[in-house]
Structure 1
Amino acid sequence: MTRTVLVTGANRGIGFETAKGFAAHGCKVLMGVRDESDGEAARKDITGNDIHVVEIDLTNADTITECIVRAEAVYGNIDILINNAGVMVESSFEELEAADFEKSLKVHVEGPLQLCQLLLPGMLERNFGRIVNVSSGWGAFTEGMEGPPAYAISKAALNALTMNLSNIIEANQNVKINAMCPGWVHTRMGGKDAPRSPEKGAETALWLGMLDEDGPTGGFFRDKKKINW
């Protein structure tokens, strides 16, 4: 059976490589992007005929529902959700502006929550679903929460969302919700000094998105290995 996957922030970096990887595995891929033209340009670099661009702005809650309803009407049920879209606000605690903090929360927490509210009920009804929240070690309490405040706090909240939502999944249901840290990846966000390639950063997202029925849920992973929150 062909699975349909929605990857947010799919026009570049880890999101692009994740979309590319799912396409290589024969999935129908919906590339969630803020700007349709950027998505169409990126789509040309992915091999496959079942790849589609979906314009979605996670900072605008009023449009997210409309986008998902339209996407499922056109492309069918979404089986796999990769909440990858991210924003890096590097301001210090003293310099952090409320608008930037709010944007981080919208992209990293509120948008993913809304997408889960829209898609998780259908996954439970069909008894199949995979949700992968692309988080960060900077959002892990065990790793010191050392990142810039807006990024670290919002990623920690995404981790909390992951654990909270996984609690509603019954043991006999084939629905998995996990978070992951891709590591320090050489992207526009990660910077040129980052040691990891986007392809390497996407590996765990692909693995979690294609878990077998006996795979884990409610966990936090790096390099396909469980790590502490």
Structure 2
Amino acid sequence: MATKNVLIIGANRGIGLNLAKAFVSLSWEVTASIRPQTRDDPSVAELKDTGATVVEIDYLDDGTIEKAAEAYGDKPLDILINVGCKLHPQLATFRLIRTSQVSPHILCRGMNSLLSSWLRDFESWLWQGPFLTMKHFLPKLEKASQPKIVNISSIFGSISGKYFIVLSS
């Protein structure tokens, strides 16, 4: 039986890291991505310890996705899992704020440029990055007998989540 191959985007912590560990334990060949900005993070060492092949992909840089697809080679890709996303550091504090504690006017005042910049990046993380990853890895998926693409989002990707309620109130 041929070895099965999985690519996990966003694998140096959380769901992605645990998926990498699970697939390695099932004897799959795991390719796992990290963002170039996190290459020195201790979580990357934990990912490497799983035996996964680590590649760098930044959803905001199409070149990194194309380079990773070239480095992957000609082998079939059975499963592509898009987990990668991140929260803008200055917006991370919004989770601690309840709408009943502060007026939306005060909450958003002075945040326009930050929100505009972050929303532009968030759009890339949410759909553009996964789309480009699928585009560049499609030839590898087509070589598999039953290829699958799995897109995993967080509560932050939900338009009914508290973040968007707070930000749009």
The count of residues paired between Structure 1 and Structure 2 equals: 143
Task: Return closer, same or farther for 1:53/1:126 CA change in 2, 3 Å cut-off.
Answer: closer
1:115 aligns with 2:133: yes
1:147 aligns with 2:162: yes
CA contact under 8 A between 1:72 and 1:78: conserved in structure 2? Answer: no
- 2:79 is aligned to 80
- 1:17 is aligned to 18
AA of the residue aligned to 2:161: E
Higher normalized helix content (fraction of residues): 2
- Greater Cα shift, 116-125 or 29-38: 116-125
Q: Which of residues 123, 127, 152 in structure 2 aligns to 1:105? A: 123
Instruction: Give 3-state SS (helix, strand or coil) of 2:162's partner.
Output: coil
- 2:46 is aligned to 42
Aligned-partner Cα distance in 2 for 1:118–1:44: 24
Identity %: 30
AA of the residue aligned to 1:85: G
- 1:69 is aligned to 70
Deviations 1:79-124, CA, capped at 9 Å, x for gaps: 2111011112436883352211111111221110011112235434
- Greater Cα shift, 112-121 or 35-44: 35-44
AA of the residue aligned to 2:87: M
Task: Return closer, same or farther for 1:63/1:17 CA change in 2, 3 Å cut-off.
Answer: same
Instruction: Give 3-state SS (helix, strand or coil) of 1:148's partner.
Output: helix
CA contact under 8 A between 2:11 and 2:47: conserved in structure 1? Answer: no
AA of the residue aligned to 1:100: W
Structure 2 spans left out of the alignment, 5+ residues: 95-103
Structure 1 spans left out of the alignment, 5+ residues: 153-229
Aligned-partner Cα distance in 1 for 2:48–2:133: 26
Q: For the aligned residues, what is the CA RMSD? A: 2.7
**For 1:1-229, what aligned pairs fall within 5 Å after superposition?**
1-35=2-36, 36-38=39-41, 40-46=44-50, 48=51, 51-73=52-74, 76-89=75-88, 90=91, 94=108, 95=111, 96-124=114-142, 126-140=144-158, 145-149=160-164
AA of the residue aligned to 2:25: A
Task: Return closer, same or farther for 1:41/1:118 CA change in 2, 3 Å cut-off.
Answer: same
Task: Return closer, same or farther for 1:68/1:124 CA change in 2, 3 Å cut-off.
Answer: closer
Q: 1:126 deviation in Å?
A: 3.8
Deviations 1:132-180, CA, capped at 9 Å, x for gaps: 1111345456xxx12323xx9xxxxxxxxxxxxxxxxxxxxxxxxxxxx
CA contact under 8 A between 1:139 and 1:147: conserved in structure 2? Answer: no
Task: Return closer, same or farther for 1:29/1:57 CA change in 2, 3 Å cut-off.
Answer: same
Structure exhibiting the larger radius of gyration computed from Cα positions: 2
Task: Return closer, same or farther for 1:37/1:68 CA change in 2, 3 Å cut-off.
Answer: farther
Q: 1:33 deviation in Å?
A: 0.5
AA of the residue aligned to 1:112: P
For normalisation by structure 2, the TM-score amounts to 0.71
